[in-house]
Amino acid sequence: MNRTEYLKNYKHYHYERTRKIVTFPLLTEDFEALKIRADALDMKATKLAKEVVLNFIENSPNQFMTKEQWELVQSYIRISRGIANNINQIAYKANIGEFIDVNILISALKKYEDEFRLLIAKL
């Protein structure tokens, strides 16, 4: 037996020992609903089904988001980090006794308020 054949047989043997295949029938309507959700998440239906089962086994919540939902969350994180960064800078300047220009602070907060309003409007 040559090396290539040996490795192929070993991988096949190892795969059979460590993996089990689960199959179950779904009603056509249920499969279509699964497929629609999988397509919205840019996944295959079997991958989504596997993730749902594994999340159930691990008792963890499903973390599936559409691309649009992901982009909204990323926008929220970006805006929140900007606000947190500004607060940290203000605290630092106040702690070292440096002058803080209130007009700059108010305009920055206004900018973040406007961004939040746009984000909420998308919801």
- Which pTM does this prediction carry? 0.48
Tens digits of per-residue pLDDT, 59-115? 776 677 777 777 888 888 888 888 888 888 888 888 888 887 878 878 888 888 888
The C-alpha angle with vertex 121 and arms to 80 and 62, in degrees rounded to 5, equals 65
Cα-to-chain-centroid distance, residue 2: 45
Q: How far apart are CA 6 and CA 12, in angstroms?
A: 10
31 or 82, greater pLDDT = 31
32-59: average pLDDT: 89
pLDDT at 62: 67
Closest CA to 42 of 70, 21, 61, 23: 70
The answer to whether 119 and 76 are in contact (CB under 8 A) is yes
> What is the 8-class DSSP label of residue 39?
H
The answer to whether 64 and 114 are in contact (CB under 8 A) is no
- Domain residue ranges of the chain, discontinuous segments joined by +: 3-57, 67-122
pLDDT at 16: 80
